[in-house]
């Protein structure tokens, strides 16, 4: 059709085009703003935390990525960097912190211990990877990963954020809110409330 | 030396006839006594013979002989070799030993650990609760007949990895998808779980101040997730307004089962695990472990390796103290700037570690009989550049930056005081002990490696407050710079390994306690070998863990705002506290 | 304190002010060549480093030293026709010496005789357990497994590497570790020469 027809203000835009065009450029701006100012939760567990601090120090500045504001409060942060071994005594607290973070929230498992238990996997107090309880977005292997490796992991998080369209964002969907992850309890061993039927079924056997 | 010298040289059996009997097992040393004589013996040891510093209390499980043993190491603060004595009890519940807390209060946390991990009850202990695991955990994990949920074999290497190593992830073999087991007949829906109850009951036992208004005392948790760099550590504080009335540290949030894994590992496999104890100073940990095993194997490292070891140990001390100074100044309120200055110097040291050993933090550099590999000439040149030209003036610059600052002085001088007698009583070690006026440094008290060839001073300050602990660290950095300068000038040529590199190390049976002066204090490794490729018992005497015994008594009477500053000046590392 | 109250604070402020001015002075003295050049990166890691200490990853990367160790990799030799033969003989020493036991090896068997042949059928390393200690590379008698320098391994999923992911060429190994590779090649050549010398 003629281009001057398209330019007139009362041209009928077909319905399937109405939502599309506006949102792709809106997506870009929205995701650019979010990815350039991710605020990590100041949460160092073990040795990987020291490399995280070195990444925040002057040599491998993460302020260049917009992430220098490390908030101690989960209510004000976007990204939880699990840096260090996750133990059974600590996992209820990690799950509670994850529940308290507002959407949109991301989790980066830094190091071998947070990704899959690490060298301490056979220990009786160690959880084999934090993704047994909370959903993880990026895994950074290494023991400990050098600050440059962590920065690569943070760039992958930024890549992921930039690829998320608003239409399918889970925090804008209609319907019930995303359910909280139930907090595990400390009994004779760690009890995950989602697995209680599995435990009681075993008891009946 | 021809054979390992015995730990004590005085003849205690003449002094205490009928009470002691020498330990005659091959490779062992020390004295064995009965539980009924323990308190009298310990009091006499401390008061008459002058052994006032209890270094380590630990337990050993001898399952084949149906015995449990509690091992004590005691030293004099004037220096020299110590006394090693043991109590043996039959291995059937209830197992009871008298608690030494009334004589040596520094035994408090270590006896709680022995109760938690072995199940030995200490009668007379003021507060016997679990410390590393939570209340309600089933079983005592370090016993030899207690198997962890991922248990495959008693000792590594595991047969499932080769030659038929079908890869199955360990959690897929467990029906709960994680390393979890429950006792038989366990139904979680029929009970409630409260691991905190015992802690709050213990908090309520303190001296109530009867004078003045009858006010409510609040319990505040400075929880494991904390905007301070020390890691996952929790402090439960009872407050009367702003004044602290009672304080209990809660640890175990990073308990990674180092000792249980250590018993399954072979001797060479344990070396990278020791890096992860005090993760800021990995080569010091390697040093202590290598010393202990070399005592058992009766091997002496080569000359060049000894010099390299001392250089690396002192550089690790500087790196650790830089981090400690940065973190303490951060806690005192200078938000991150001194940390950045200190970390800049630390990064240059970490570059050297990377060039020499391969990794910035987890160096895994020492081996039994020397070090793993020689370092390139460029690394030696870098060390010379930094230690002769850059580091001395940079340390003076950081010192000038904040040591005369009025805010640091008013928050530090006179606050958080630990007196000299208290420091010895609570088994404090390292800069915490030396800032209170006791000049005890293992490098001088019982020299190991070649430290007797270097000229350095033992740094001491007299007041024992937060400011002194900060300044002691600056002075120790300067002394370490002095040692490295001397070592670089005297470095000989030659091989760096006394033995052929082998991955199956033959260690004769016996026990050894290898201790070094780490940056946080006296780091000791107590290793028992029974001739097999894996150790029978592997215990770490962690200085940060035992320094926390003094934490409560220092803070009582202070304001709550000083808790963070005191914790920063004690300088703990959670990898060591929780192992 | 006999002198002015606040003297300590001023002393400290002079230190940070000096560092502040140094950043500009140092930048200007380099005339624009301070960033994105190898010499500039080397200056910021040397004893004369002053001013801005930041190395701007990912545009500038600090060169890793030769001894640096991250996850292991298997070395293969390339034949004249481009066929790749792994040096690994599946002796299992690396699996036996690995502290957290994160190496799984399935040794191949000859289908005709049923006896083992020195070649790995399957070789797994779980990078989510590997502690980068380097003991596998240190004790391998055939120079078959070495520690890699590549640290840019972040992914969206768990990391278990099999032998296809782990194999890299001997040329790559020589590029990252020239001193070590030359020393080992010389040792292997000397051993082969002494064996052929004795065999005659």
Which contacts qualify for B325-329: CB closer than 8 Å, 24 or more apart?
Answer: B325/B398, B325/B470, B325/B473, B325/B474, B327/B228, B327/B229, B327/B230, B327/B568, B327/B571, B328/B466, B328/B469, B328/B470, B328/B565, B328/B568, B328/B569, B328/B571, B329/B402, B329/B408, B329/B470
Chain C residues 67-106 with CB within 8 Å of chain B: 67-69, 90, 92-93, 95-99, 101, 103-106
pLDDT greater than 90 at residue C162:
no
Chain B: give the shortest CA distance to residue A58, in Å: 6
pLDDT greater than 90 at residue A109:
yes
Closest by Cβ to B254, choosing from A46, A117, A143: A46
pLDDT, position B307: 94
Cβ–Cβ contact B399 with C under 8 A = no
Q: Among candidates B493, B522, B527, which has minimal Cα distance to B508?
A: B527
pLDDT greater than 70 at residue C2:
no
Average pLDDT over residues A122-139: 90
* Alpha-carbon span B468 to B454, nearest angstrom: 25
* Alpha-carbon span B407 to B333, nearest angstrom: 9
* Alpha-carbon span A162 to A23, nearest angstrom: 14
* Alpha-carbon span A123 to C7, nearest angstrom: 54
Nearest residue on chain B to C130, judged by CA atoms? B272
Helices (H), B26-153: 38-47, 108-118
Instruction: Give the pLDDT band of residue A23 (cuts 50, 70, 90).
Output: low
Q: Which of B151, B276, B342 to mutate to test the interface with A (most CBs of A within 10 A)?
A: B276
Q: Between B343 and A174, where is the model more confident?
A: B343
pLDDT greater than 50 at residue C1:
no
* Average per-residue pLDDT for chain C: 87
Helices (H), B332-361: 337-357
pLDDT greater than 70 at residue B141:
yes
The structure tokens listed for A37 are 């100012």
pLDDT, position A191: 87
List all residues 6 or more positions away from B173 whose beta carbon is below 8 Å from its beta carbon: B150
pLDDT, position B207: 66
pTM to 2 decimal places: 0.91
pLDDT, position B3: 38
Q: What are the Cα distances from residue B94, in Å, to B115, B119, B136?
A: 11, 8, 18
pLDDT greater than 50 at residue B110:
yes
* Alpha-carbon span B19 to B40, nearest angstrom: 10
Instruction: Give the pLDDT band of residue C60 (cuts 50, 70, 90).
Output: confident
A&C contacts, CB < 8 Å? 101
The structure tokens listed for C150 are 């590549």
Q: Between A18 and B463, where is the model more confident?
A: B463
Cβ–Cβ contact B364 with C under 8 A = yes
Average pLDDT over residues A57-78: 88
Q: Among candidates B558, B468, B571, which has minimal Cα distance to B519?
A: B571
Over residues B238-279, the pLDDT tens digits come to 988 888 988 999 998 999 999 999 999 999 999 999 989 999
Residue tagged 């260049």 (tokens): A64
pLDDT greater than 50 at residue B27:
yes
Instruction: Give the pLDDT band of residue B7 (cuts 50, 70, 90).
Output: very low
The structure tokens listed for B355 are 């060039």
Q: Cβ B343–A191 below 8 Å, yes or no?
A: no
Closest by Cβ to A149, choosing from C99, C102, C154: C154
Which helix (H) or strand (E) segment is B70 a member of? Answer: strand B67-75
Instruction: Give the pLDDT band of residue A185 (cuts 50, 70, 90).
Output: confident
pLDDT greater than 90 at residue C33:
no
pLDDT greater than 60 at residue A49:
yes
Chain C: give the shortest CA distance to residue B390, in Å: 6
* Average per-residue pLDDT for chain B: 88
- Please state, for a pLDDT cut of 90, what percent of chain B lies above it: 46
Q: Cβ C131–A148 below 8 Å, yes or no?
A: no
Cβ–Cβ contact A123 with C under 8 A = no
pLDDT greater than 80 at residue B50:
yes
Q: ipTM greater than 0.95, yes or no?
A: no
Closest by Cβ to C57, choosing from A122, A145, A151: A151
Relative to beta strand B120-123, strand B95-98 is: parallel
The structure tokens listed for A2 are 């003629």
Over residues B72-82, the pLDDT tens digits come to 999 998 888 88
Cβ–Cβ contact B256 with C under 8 A = no
pLDDT, position A5: 66
Instruction: Give the pLDDT band of residue A22 (cuts 50, 70, 90).
Output: low
pLDDT, position B263: 92
- Is the Cβ–Cβ distance between B548 and B40 less than 8 Å? no
* Average per-residue pLDDT for chain A: 85
* Alpha-carbon span B544 to B522, nearest angstrom: 9
pLDDT greater than 60 at residue A41:
yes
**Sign of the CA dihedral A184, A190, A192, A197?**
negative
pLDDT, position C198: 65
Q: Cβ C97–B409 below 8 Å, yes or no?
A: no
pLDDT, position A154: 92
What single DSSP character describes residue B554? H
pLDDT, position B229: 58
What single DSSP character describes residue B389? I
* Alpha-carbon span B82 to B85, nearest angstrom: 10
Over residues B444-482, the pLDDT tens digits come to 988 988 999 999 999 999 988 999 999 999 999 999 999
pLDDT, position A204: 47
Give the side-chain half-sphere CA count within 13 A for B87. Answer: 23
For residue C56, the chain A residues in CB contact (below 8 A) are: 61, 64
pLDDT greater than 60 at residue A176:
yes
- Please state, for a pLDDT cut of 70, what percent of chain B lies above it: 97
Instruction: Give the pLDDT band of residue A13 (cuts 50, 70, 90).
Output: low
- Please state, for a pLDDT cut of 70, what percent of chain A lies above it: 86
* Alpha-carbon span B242 to A36, nearest angstrom: 41
Closest by Cβ to C151, choosing from A118, A122, A149: A149
pLDDT greater than 60 at residue B330:
yes
Cβ–Cβ contact A121 with C under 8 A = yes
Q: Cβ C158–A116 below 8 Å, yes or no?
A: yes
pLDDT greater than 80 at residue B417:
yes
pLDDT, position A8: 67
pLDDT greater than 90 at residue B316:
yes
Instruction: Give the pLDDT band of residue A4 (cuts 50, 70, 90).
Output: low
Q: Cβ B170–A144 below 8 Å, yes or no?
A: no
pLDDT greater than 60 at residue B525:
yes
Q: Cβ A188–B340 below 8 Å, yes or no?
A: no
pLDDT, position B2: 35
Q: Cβ A121–B179 below 8 Å, yes or no?
A: yes
List all residues 6 or more positions away from B29 whose beta carbon is below 8 Å from its beta carbon: B4, B6, B7, B8, B23, B84, B511
Nearest residue on chain B to A53, judged by CA atoms? B229
For residue A124, the chain B residues in CB contact (below 8 A) are: 141, 148-149, 179, 257, 260
């Amino acid at each position: 059709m003629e281009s001057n027809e398209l330019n007139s203000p009362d041209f009928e835009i077909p319905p399937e085009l109405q939502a599309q065009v506006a949102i792709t450029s809106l997506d870009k701006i929205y995701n650019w703003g979010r990815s350039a100012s991710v605020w990590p939760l100041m949460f160092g567990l073990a040795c990987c935390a020291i490399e995280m601090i070195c990444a925040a120090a002057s040599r491998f500045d993460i302020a260049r990525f917009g992430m220098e504001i490390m908030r101690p409060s989960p209510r004000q942060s976007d990204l939880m960097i699990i840096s260090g071994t996750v133990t059974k005594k600590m996992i209820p607290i990690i799950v509670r912190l994850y529940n308290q973070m507002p959407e949109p929230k991301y989790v980066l498992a830094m190091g071998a211990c947070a990704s899959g238990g690490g060298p301490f996997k056979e220990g009786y107090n160690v959880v084999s990877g934090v993704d047994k309880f909370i959903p993880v977005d990026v895994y950074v292997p290494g023991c400990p990963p050098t600050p440059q490796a962590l920065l690569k992991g943070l760039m992958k998080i930024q890549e992921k954020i930039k690829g998320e369209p608003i239409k399918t964002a889970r925090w804008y969907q209609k319907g019930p809110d995303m359910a909280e992850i139930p907090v595990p309890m400390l009994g004779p061993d760690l009890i995950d409330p989602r697995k209680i039927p599995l435990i009681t079924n075993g008891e009946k056997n | 030396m021809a054979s390992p010298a015995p730990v004590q040289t005085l003849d205690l059996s003449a002094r205490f006839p009928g009470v002691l009997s020498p330990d005659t097992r091959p490779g062992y040393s020390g004295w064995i006594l009965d539980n009924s004589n323990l308190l009298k013996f310990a009091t006499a040891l401390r008061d008459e013979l002058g052994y006032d510093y209890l270094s380590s209390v630990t337990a050993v499980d001898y399952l084949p002989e149906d015995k449990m043993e509690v091992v004590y190491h005691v030293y004099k603060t004037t220096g020299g070799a110590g006394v090693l004595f043991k109590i043996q009890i039959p291995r059937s519940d209830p197992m009871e030993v008298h608690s030494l807390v009334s004589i040596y209060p520094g035994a408090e946390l270590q006896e709680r650990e022995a109760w938690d991990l072995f199940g030995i009850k200490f009668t007379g202990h003021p507060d016997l609760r679990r410390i590393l695991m939570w209340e309600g955990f089933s079983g005592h994990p370090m016993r030899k007949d207690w198997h962890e949920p991922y248990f495959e074999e008693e000792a590594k290497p595991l047969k499932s990895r080769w030659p038929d190593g079908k890869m199955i992830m360990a959690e897929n073999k467990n029906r709960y998808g994680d390393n979890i087991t429950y006792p038989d007949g366990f139904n979680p829906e029929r009970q409630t779980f409260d691991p905190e109850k015992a802690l709050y009951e213990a908090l309520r036992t303190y001296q109530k101040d009867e004078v003045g208004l009858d006010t409510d005392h609040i319990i505040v948790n400075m929880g494991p997730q904390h905007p301070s760099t020390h890691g996952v550590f929790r402090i439960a504080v009872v407050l009367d307004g702003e004044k602290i009335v009672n304080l209990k540290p809660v640890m175990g949030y990073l308990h990674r089962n180092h000792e249980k894994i250590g018993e399954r590992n072979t001797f060479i496999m344990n070396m990278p695990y020791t890096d992860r104890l005090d993760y800021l100073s990995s080569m010091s940990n390697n040093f202590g472990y290598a010393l202990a095993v070399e005592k058992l194997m009766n091997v002496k490292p080569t000359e060049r390796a000894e010099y390299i070891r001392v250089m690396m140990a002192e550089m690790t001390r500087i790196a650790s103290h830089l981090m400690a100074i940065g973190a303490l100044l951060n806690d005192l309120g200078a938000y991150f700037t001194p940390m950045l200055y200190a970390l800049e110097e630390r990064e240059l040291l970490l570059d050297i570690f990377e060039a020499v050993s391969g990794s910035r933090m987890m160096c895994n550099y020492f081996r039994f009989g020397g070090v793993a590999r020689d370092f390139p000439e460029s690394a030696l040149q870098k060390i010379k550049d930094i230690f002769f030209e850059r580091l001395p003036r940079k340390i003076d610059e950081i010192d000038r930056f904040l040591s005369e600052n009025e805010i640091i002085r008013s928050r530090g001088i006179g606050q958080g005081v630990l007196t000299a007698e208290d420091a010895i009583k609570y088994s404090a070690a390292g800069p915490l002990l030396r800032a209170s006026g006791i000049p005890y440094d293992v490098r001088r008290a019982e020299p190991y490696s070649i430290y007797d060839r270097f000229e350095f001073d033992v740094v001491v300050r007299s007041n024992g407050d937060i400011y002194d602990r900060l300044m002691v660290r600056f002075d120790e950095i300067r002394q370490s710079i002095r040692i490295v300068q001397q070592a670089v000038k005297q470095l000989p040529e030659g091989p760096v390994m006394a033995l052929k590199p082998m991955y199956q190390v033959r260690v004769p049976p016996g026990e050894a306690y290898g201790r070094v002066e780490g940056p946080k204090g006296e780091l000791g490794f107590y290793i028992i070998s029974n001739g097999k490729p894996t150790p029978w018992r592997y215990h770490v005497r962690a200085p940060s863990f035992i320094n926390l015994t003094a934490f409560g008594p220092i803070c009582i009477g202070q304001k709550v705002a000083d808790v963070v500053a005191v914790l920063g000046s004690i300088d703990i590392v959670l990898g060591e506290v929780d192992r | 304190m006999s002198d002015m109250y606040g003297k300590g604070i001023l002393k400290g402020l002079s230190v940070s002010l000096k560092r502040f001015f140094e950043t500009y002075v140092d930048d200007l003295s380099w005339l624009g060549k301070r960033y994105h050049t190898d010499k500039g990166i080397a200056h910021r890691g040397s004893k004369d480093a002053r001013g801005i200490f930041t190395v701007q990853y990912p545009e500038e990367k600090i060169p890793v030293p030769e001894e640096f160790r991250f996850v292991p990799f298997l070395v293969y030799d390339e034949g004249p026709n481009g066929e790749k033969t792994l040096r690994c003989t599946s002796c299992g020493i690396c699996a036996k010496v690995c502290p957290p036991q994160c190496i799984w090896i399935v040794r191949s068997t000859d289908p005709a005789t049923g006896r083992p042949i020195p070649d790995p059928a399957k070789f797994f390393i779980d990078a989510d357990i590997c502690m980068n200690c380097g003991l596998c590379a240190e004790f391998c008698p055939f120079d078959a497994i070495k520690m890699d320098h590549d640290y840019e391994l972040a992914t969206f999923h768990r990391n278990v590497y099999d032998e296809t992911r782990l194999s890299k060429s001997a040329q790559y190994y020589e590029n990252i570790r020239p001193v070590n590779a030359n020393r080992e090649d010389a040792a292997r050549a000397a051993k082969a020469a002494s064996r052929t010398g004795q065999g005659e």
